Every structure is written in structure tokens, then in C-alpha cells.
């Protein structure tokens, strides 16, 4: 089973437009899918679920649409708080918090604080998030801390990212048929498996989440290593030193 699943929740606007509805209706329907997905992930034993809710580039969208998304976020967090406590869900966000409205930051901080000891599932919400922005902020932290060239290691940088202490995603799912990362967990997804579906996010069900997990379990993750201990190069060219396996 994948311990950590990331989902790029894409297609809310298109879902609404296809039905002649305002884009805000797509976002409202998308929020409903979040609750079902969290429940399904928890039931099958996923430890971390990361949802790409709002990218740092999304601030460039029309003010009306951004306002609707922020209002939905605030109301959803207040509504789901009791469920988080009852179901043992720890909530946290990753992203550039400075860009969030003060009212949103206040609600997020309360929910994060109150759920910090819950241990059944970590629900990580990428909000005002961009992978490049996260790495830049991590580098700036290193400079402020006076890090020298010898201090800069993978573990050091990972410890300065928003996701510090959270395992890298095993599986990343993207809905709506697009096949790109869109600046999501760039550092952390170096060896993630990917699952793309044409389903728009408001139509994504727990059944499709299980399909993605099933597909993941059929794959062989080698992390650049060779699964078979036999050296195929040596078999074909006996007597020659070294290996070309990568």
C-alpha cells in the first residue's frame, strides 16, 4: 500500500462549464469529493493524503473566483473540524502562508493546533503552494541560518521544506486528463509513481481512488536500482568489468 498519496484536484471549472453552471459550483462540488476521498484513504490505511487545493499561481485568477475558493476553504475547515477530531485526522497546510488572508490563516492555525496529536491520517493541504516557491523559501532559510556549502545535503534541504518530517509521496494522482505536475511537490515527487485519469475532480469517487491504488500496487519501484541481482551486461559480455545498469 502507498503510505503517502498526493492528488492534484483538477477540473472543477470545466465540470461546471460543461453543465452551463458558474465555476463556483464546480468548486463547491469539488469540496464534497474531498470528504469522500479522505474517508476512503483512511479506511484503506493511507497514512498521508496531500491535496493540491490552490496553487500560488491561482492568485492570478479573477478576484471573484479566488474569493469563492477562500470562503469555501474557511467554511469547510470549520465544518469538518469535529470530524477531524472524531476520526483522528491531523490537518496541516503547506504553502506560502503570507499570501493567505488573515481570517484564513487564523482558522488554519487553530485547526492545525487542535488536531496536531491525531494519528489516524495526516491530511496535508497544499494552499497558496508552488514547488519552486517552496524550494526558494527553503534556500533562503538556509542562508539566514548561515549554512555553508558542506551543510547543503538532501536531508538538510528536505528539513527546511514545508513538508519536513512527512514522507515523500509514493503515488500522485491527477484528475481531468492533464498530464503534468503543475508545480506540485517538485522536490518530493522525484521517485513518485503517477496515475492520470480523465475524470474531472467533482466526479472522482472513492472507487477510482481504489483503482489508482490497485494500479500502483502492480508497479515495480526500483529508485534507480536493479531489482534482479543478475548483471545482464555481464551475462552478455562475459569477462568485461563493470555494469551499465542505472
Q: Which residues are catalytic?
A: 10, 58
CB contact set of 37 (below 8 Å; sequence gap of 6+): 7, 49, 51, 204, 206, 209
β-pairing, 89-94 vs 48-55, is: unpaired
For residue 155, give Cα distances in angstroms to 167, 192, 231.
12, 18, 31
DSSP state letter for 200? -
**Radius of gyration over alpha carbons of the chain, in Å?**
20
Q: Single out the residue of 223, 234, 220 nearest to residue 168, CA to CA.
A: 223
Cα–Cα distance, 14 to 26 (Å, whole number): 8
Amino acid at each position: 500500500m502507498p503510505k503517502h498519496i498526493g492528488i492534484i484536484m483538477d477540473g472543477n471549472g470545466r465540470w461546471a462549464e460543461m453543465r452551463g453552471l458558474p465555476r463556483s459550483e464546480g468548486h463547491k462540488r469539488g469540496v464534497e469529493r474531498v470528504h469522500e476521498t479522505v474517508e476512503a484513504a483512511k479506511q484503506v490505511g493511507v497514512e498521508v493524503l496531500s491535496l493540491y487545493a490552490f496553487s500560488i499561481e491561482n492568485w492570478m485568477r479573477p478576484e471573484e473566483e479566488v474569493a469563492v475558493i477562500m470562503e469555501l476553504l474557511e467554511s469547510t475547515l470549520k465544518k469538518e473540524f469535529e470530524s477531524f477530531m472524531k476520526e483522528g485526522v491531523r490537518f496541516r497546510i503547506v504553502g506560502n502562508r503570507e499570501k493567505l488572508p488573515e481570517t484564513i490563516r487564523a482558522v488554519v492555525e487553530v485547526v492545525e493546533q487542535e488536531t496536531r496529536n491525531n494519528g489516524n491520517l495526516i491530511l496535508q493541504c497544499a494552499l497558496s503552494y508552488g514547488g519552486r516557491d517552496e524550494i526558494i523559501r527553503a534556500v533562503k532559510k538556509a542562508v539566514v541560518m548561515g549554512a555553508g556549502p558542506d551543510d547543503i545535503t538532501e536531508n538538510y534541504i528536505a528539513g527546511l521544506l514545508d513538508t519536513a518530517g512527512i514522507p515523500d509521496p509514493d503515488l500522485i494522482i491527477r484528475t481531468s486528463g492533464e498530464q503534468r505536475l503543475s508545480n506540485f511537490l517538485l522536490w518530493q515527487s522525484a521517485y513518485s509513481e503517477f496515475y492520470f485519469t480523465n475524470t474531472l475532480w467533482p466526479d472522482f469517487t472513492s472507487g477510482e481512488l481504489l483503482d489508482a491504488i490497485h494500479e500502483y500496487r502492480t508497479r515495480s519501484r526500483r529508485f534507480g536500482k536493479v531489482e534482479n541481482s543478475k548483471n545482464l551486461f555481464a551475462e552478455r559480455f562475459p569477462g568485461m568489468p563493470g555494469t551499465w545498469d542505472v
